[in-house]
A and B are shown apart, each in its own frame.
Chain A
Amino acid sequence: MTSNDNILAVEDLGVHFGSGDGLVKAVDEVSFTVRRGETVALVGESGSGKSISALSLTKLAPRAARYAGGRILFEGRDMLALSDAELRRIRGSRISYIFQEPMASLNPVFTIQWQIEEAIRLHQRGVDRKREVARLLGLVHLPERLARAYPHEMSGGQLQRCMIAMALACSPDLLVADEPTTALDVTVQREILNLLAELGRNVGLSILMITHNFGIVADLADRVYVMQKGRIVEEGETRQVLYDPRAEYTRQLMAAVPRLHPRTEEEQ
C-alpha cells in the first residue's frame, strides 16, 4: 500500500502543557497513520498522551494545551493550519468522536432526537432529519422510540450506541473512539465492540481506537501503536505486536490483566 491510502497522517506532533519548570510534553514527536477502512489502535496507560493525541486531531485538546510542532494531515490538509470555521466543518462530518463516559458526554437536558438532529443540521442541508435519525438508530440497533428519551432514561450501552449514531450522522471518514468501552459493563463492552467491528466492515469506516486494553486491540485493530509518556514506543501489525512485542513496556501492558485494571480517568 502506498502513503496515498493514508486518510490520516500525524507527523512529529508535539502537544505541551505549562512552561519552564512545569513544562509537560503530553505528546512528544508522535507520528502515526490511519489508512482508509482500517482500524488502528493507540494503546497506553492513562497519562501516556493517547487521548490528547486523539483530541488534537481536530484541535479539541484542553485550552491549556499548546501545539508545539508537527503536522496532522487529514486527506492531505494540515489540521493545525486550518481556521476555526474550517475545523468546525470537519468535526462531526469528516472526523467524528465517541468518548469514554457516554452518560456525561451527552447533554442531559436535550433529547437524543435533538442531539442527533443537531449533528445533522450542522453539516447537511435538505435532509429529512427525522427519518435520518431513525435510520441512524437502526444502524446501531436501537429502537426508534428511544429518540424521544433523555440521556438519563437510558442505560450506558444504549447511550454509547446513541453516541455512535450521532458520530455516524454525516457519514464521517474517520471515527475516533476514545476508550469507548471502559465505562461500560463487561457484557455491554462486547456488544459495542461488535458494533464497531461491524461498522468498520460494512460502512468502510476508518477507526482510530484509543484504549489501554489489549483485549480490544486483539479483537478489532489491524495495526497498533503503543504510547508511553507521550512517545510512541512500538508500532506494527496487531498480530506481530501481540505475538512478538519488542518494547518492554508493551510486554508489561499485555501482562496487566485488563479486567482487573482499575478504571482510571483520562488525564487532561
Chain B
Amino acid sequence: MLKYIAKRLFQMFPTVVGVVLVTFLLFNVVGGDLAATALGKNVSLQMMEDFDAQRGLDKPLFFGYRAGTRAFEDLDASVGRGRWQAWSNATHSAETGTVAIGPQTEILLPAFALDPGRDYEWTVVYRGKAILAGEALDSGRWSRAKIRFGGGRDVFLQTGEEPFELRRLSLRKVVANPFDSQLSFYVRQLLRGDLGTSEYFKQPVARLLADGIVPSLKLTVPIFFIGIVVSVSLSLVCAFFRDTWLDRFFVVLSVALMSINYLVYIVAGQYLLSYKLGWFPVWGYESWRFLVLPVAIGVVSGLGANLRFYRTIMLDEMYKDYVRTAFAKGVSKPRVLFVHVLKNAMIPIITNVVIAIPFLYTGSLLLESFFGVPGLGYLGINAILSSDIDVVRALVLIGALLFVVANLLTDLCYAAADPRVKLG
C-alpha cells in the first residue's frame, strides 16, 4: 500500500507542475498589465512599479538579462509611440518617423526616481549630438547606442547647439541573475508558502483564507453529507422501483432540478421562504438558523445531477450477472440491493464523492455572497468583482491543488474498496 501511495504521489507531480504553470501563464501572461487591472486608472506609475516589484512582475517572464520598468515608456517615433508630447522643444515628424529635439534643451526622462540599488540601460537610435545619462552621443549618421548607468540620480537628455533626432529610445533594468524571473519568483513564493498580499484588504492572502475557511466549511460540509445521503438513498429507491412510475418520476425530477439555474434557487428561496413566508432569516451569519436555507438550496441544486449519476450506477449494477446469481440463491430484493449492489456501487460513488471534496473549500460562490456567509466563496466573488488578483490566484491555485490531492485520495479509496485493483 505504501509503495502504491508513493507511486501515485510521484504521478501527481506533473499535474502539480501543470497547475502552477497554468496559473502562472493565466495571470502573468494572459492577464496582461495586472497592475492596471488591479489598481485601476488613477494611480501613479510609481505605485504601479511598487505593485510590480512586490509581486515580482518587474522581472523577465521566464529568463533574461533585461526587464522593463514603468519609469520610461518606450519611444518609437516610426509609429508615434511614446511620451515625446510631454517634452519641451520636441517635435515629431510622421513622414520621417523621427522626433527632433531643439537646441539647449534639458529633459528629465524617467517618470519617477530610479532605484539607486540597481543598474539600468538606455537603448537609443539617434542622429546628432546630445548627452544622455551623462554619456555623450555624437554621430552624423543614424546609429544605435546602449548606455548603462546606476540608478539613484536624475537622468537627463541634454542637447547643445547642434540638432538631435531620435528614432527609438527605451529604458530597461539590468538583471544580474537571468534566472531571477517572474516564474522563479512565483515558484519560490509558493515554496515559502506565501500566497501574496491582497491589494484590496492590504492583508496577506493566507490570513484571509484562514479566516474564510471555517464559515465556508460550516456551509459546505452539511451540503456535502446531506447531499450524498439524500441522493444515494433516492437512487436506491429508483433502483428498487425501476421501470415503475416512481422511478420515472425521479428521472424527470432530476433533469428538471438540473435545468433550473442556480440563481433561481437562490432568488426564489430567498424571496419565497425567507421574505414571504418568514421561515428563515434572509441574510447574515449569526446562528445555525441562518445556515438552514443556504444548506437546503445547496442540497437541492446538486440533487438533480447526483441522483441521475447514482441511479445510472445502481441500474448498471442491477443488470450484472452476479445480481441474477444472488436472486438464484434466494436472496431477497432488498438484500440484493443493499448488500450486493450497494457494495459494488460504492466504488464509483466514492470516486464521485471524493472528487467533490475541493468544492468544500472553494465554498459556494453564490450561496455565500447571497446569504452573507463570510466564507471563501464570498471572498472569491468579491475578489473577482474588485479585481483583487492575488486572492483570485490563490483561490484558483489552492482549488486546483486540492483537486489533485482529491484525485489521489480517490484512487486510494478505489484501491481500498475494490479488491480487483492491484497495488504496486
User: Measuring CB to CB, which residues of chain A are less than 8 angstroms from any residue of chain B?
Assistant: 55, 58, 60, 63, 84, 88-93, 96-97, 99, 101, 104-110, 118-119, 122-123, 150, 152, 163, 166
Closest 3 CB pairs of A and B: A92-B330, A104-B321, A92-B329
Beyond known contacts A60-B324, A107-B344: 9 more, CB 8 A cutoff = A90-B330, A91-B329, A97-B328, A99-B324, A108-B344, A109-B419, A110-B340, A152-B419, A163-B325
20 contacts between A and B (CB under 8 A): A60-B324, A84-B333, A88-B331, A90-B330, A91-B327, A92-B329, A92-B330, A96-B328, A105-B325, A106-B325, A107-B340, A108-B419, A108-B420, A109-B418, A109-B419, A110-B340, A118-B331, A122-B330, A150-B420, A152-B420
Q: Are A109's CB and B330's CB within 8 A?
A: no
B243 contacts A by Cβ under 8 Å: yes
A96 to B324, CA, bound (A): 12
A106 to B326, CA, bound (A): 9
**Most B C-beta atoms less than 10 A away, residue of A55, A93, A107, A122:** A107
Closest B residue by C-beta to A89: B330
B322 contacts A by Cβ under 8 Å: yes
Closest A residue by C-beta to B340: A107
B96 contacts A by Cβ under 8 Å: no
Q: Are A123's CB and B418's CB within 8 A?
A: no
Closest B residue by C-beta to A108: B420
The residue from B322, B330, B347 contacting A105, defined by CB atoms under 8 A apart: B322
Expressed in whole angstroms, the minimum distance between the Cβ of A91 and any Cβ of chain B is 4
Q: Could you say which residues of chain A place their CB within 8 Å of the CB of B419?
A: 108-109, 150, 152
The residue from A97, A122, A150, A152 contacting B325, defined by CB atoms under 8 A apart: A97
A60 to B330, CA, bound (A): 10
B343 contacts A by Cβ under 8 Å: yes
Q: Are A107's CB and B326's CB within 8 A?
A: yes
Expressed in whole angstroms, the minimum distance between the Cβ of A164 and any Cβ of chain B is 12
Q: Are B343's CB and A93's CB within 8 A?
A: no
Q: Do most interface residues of chain B lie in helix, strand or loop, or is the interface mixed? A: helix
Interchain Cβ contacts within 8 Å, total number: 73
User: Measuring CB to CB, which residues of chain B are less than 8 angstroms from any residue of chain A?
Assistant: 242-243, 320-322, 324-333, 340, 343-344, 347, 417-420
Q: Could you say which residues of chain B place their CB within 8 Å of the CB of A123?
A: 330
Q: Are A93's CB and B325's CB within 8 A?
A: no
The residue from B243, B330, B333, B343 contacting A110, defined by CB atoms under 8 A apart: B343
A166 to B325, CA, bound (A): 10
Q: Are B325's CB and A107's CB within 8 A?
A: yes
The residue from A60, A101, A107, A108 contacting B328, defined by CB atoms under 8 A apart: A60
Closest B residue by C-beta to A149: B419
Q: Are B329's CB and A166's CB within 8 A?
A: yes
Closest A residue by C-beta to B323: A107
Closest B residue by C-beta to A163: B325
Q: Are A105's CB and B420's CB within 8 A?
A: no
A92 to B324, CA, bound (A): 12
**Most B C-beta atoms less than 10 A away, residue of A55, A88, A89, A93:** A88
Expressed in whole angstroms, the minimum distance between the Cβ of A97 and any Cβ of chain B is 4
Expressed in whole angstroms, the minimum distance between the Cβ of B21 and any Cβ of chain A is 39
Q: Could you say which residues of chain A place their CB within 8 Å of the CB of B243?
A: 63
A123 to B332, CA, bound (A): 12
A113 to B151, CA, bound (A): 82
Closest B residue by C-beta to A109: B343
Q: Are B329's CB and A108's CB within 8 A?
A: no
Q: Are A106's CB and B332's CB within 8 A?
A: no
The residue from B331, B344, B417, B420 contacting A122, defined by CB atoms under 8 A apart: B331
A107 to B343, CA, bound (A): 10
Q: Are A58's CB and B340's CB within 8 A?
A: no
A123 to B328, CA, bound (A): 13
A93 to B106, CA, bound (A): 108
Q: Are A88's CB and B420's CB within 8 A?
A: no
Q: Could you say which residues of chain B place their CB within 8 Å of the CB of A110?
A: 340, 343
Q: Could you say which residues of chain B place their CB within 8 Å of the CB of A105?
A: 321-322, 324-325
A87 to B330, CA, bound (A): 8
Q: Could you say which residues of chain A place their CB within 8 Å of the CB of B329?
A: 91-92, 96, 118-119, 122, 166
Q: Could you say which residues of chain A place their CB within 8 Å of the CB of B242?
A: 63
Q: Could you say which residues of chain B place their CB within 8 Å of the CB of A163?
A: 325
Q: A99-B325, A101-B321 are in contact. Are A91 and B330 (CB under 8 A)?
A: yes
Closest A residue by C-beta to B332: A88
Expressed in whole angstroms, the minimum distance between the Cβ of B292 and any Cβ of chain A is 38
Q: Are A99's CB and B420's CB within 8 A?
A: no
Q: Are B420's CB and A104's CB within 8 A?
A: no
Closest A residue by C-beta to B344: A109
Q: Could you say which residues of chain A place their CB within 8 Å of the CB of B344?
A: 107-109
Q: Are B322's CB and A93's CB within 8 A?
A: no
Q: Could you say which residues of chain B place their CB within 8 Å of the CB of A104?
A: 320-322
Q: Could you say which residues of chain B place their CB within 8 Å of the CB of A58?
A: 328
